[in-house]
Amino acid sequence: MKVETALSNAQGSIRLLQITDTHLFARTDGALLSVKTQHSFEAVVAEILAQQLEFDAILATGDISQDHTSISYQKFAKGIQPLDKQCFWLPGNHDFKMNMDAVFPSEQISAQPHVLLGEHWQMILLDSQVEGVPHGRLSEEQLELLDNTLAQNPDKHSLVVLHHHSVLVGSKWLDQHTLHDAHEFWDVVNKHDNVKAVVCGHVHQDLNTMHQGVQVIATPSTCVQFKPNSDDFALDEQSPGWRELELYADGRLETKVGRLPGNQFMPDFESDGY
């Protein structure tokens, strides 16, 4: 298995920028719930550049495309070029893996499942996609990848990344589409003491909680936001966003969410689903 390595910065920590659930279309005016997703994605990238955020790598946690087209993935690749850092990505339930490959070979984007982050951390990227349905599962091969990588690198603080949420977020409609074999995932995680955090996309909202001693993190979408703690489908008035994560040599993780200023890119609040 090929391993990519991201070098640590001068302070000895690793800084990651998470961008997720861009839902891009081939058409420039393609819209999800009335939000033109290419425009909101480009606005997020522009705001990150305007704020002069410092980071060592980009983490893209799925649902990159909404229409499955090769062009939509090429638009993502072009869109992140100004960020000028290596990007590690994985598929979400809306993605078409064959067309994700349309961006390769790419100097910036990598689909490697195991990444060494400096001297003290590793990142394991899992594919939780079940083709044709919104919920997720991890195959035996993916669970073995997780188990074996954690066992082979017990001295590395570990960040586990996947698209689907492995804990319930408190919204009945959204929790139908969780990682359906989450208990098997957590059984593997609990065999090891080096997992510090699990990071996902999918839920289009800010989540930062603890589960069985592990920090569990989800991140706002670059387009529409789902209203937290809503039994039925509902959209939030929060702006599109991203997440910053800083990983320290002693295993600490600090994180915060950034958002576009003002009430930009408001969705169709009358919608009852998508």
Convert the pLDDT of each residue in 235-248 to its tens digit: 999 999 999 999 99
pLDDT of 63-84, one tens digit each? 999 999 999 999 999 999 999 9
Task: Quote the distance between the C-alpha of residue 212 and its chain's center.
Answer: 21
pTM reported for the whole predicted model: 0.95
User: Has residue 6 been placed in a domain?
Assistant: no
User: Has residue 272 been placed in a domain?
Assistant: no
CA distance 210 to 79: 33
User: Has residue 174 been placed in a domain?
Assistant: yes
Containing H/E element for 242?
strand 241-247
Amino acid making up residue 42: E
Lowest mean per-residue pLDDT among 27-31, 88-92, 144-148, 266-270 = 266-270
User: Has residue 48 been placed in a domain?
Assistant: yes
Count of domains for the chain: 1
The per-residue pLDDT of the chain, averaged, comes to 94
pLDDT class for 134, splitting at 50, 70, 90? very high
Contacts of 224 (CB under 8 A, 6+ apart): 23, 32, 33, 35, 204, 235, 240, 265, 267
CATH number for 198 = 3.60.21.10
CA distance 216 to 256: 13
Are residues 177 and 163 in contact, defined by beta-carbon separation less than 8 angstroms?
A: no
User: Has residue 224 been placed in a domain?
Assistant: yes
User: Has residue 216 been placed in a domain?
Assistant: yes
CA distance 88 to 194: 21
Which residue range(s) make up the domain with 51? 11-259
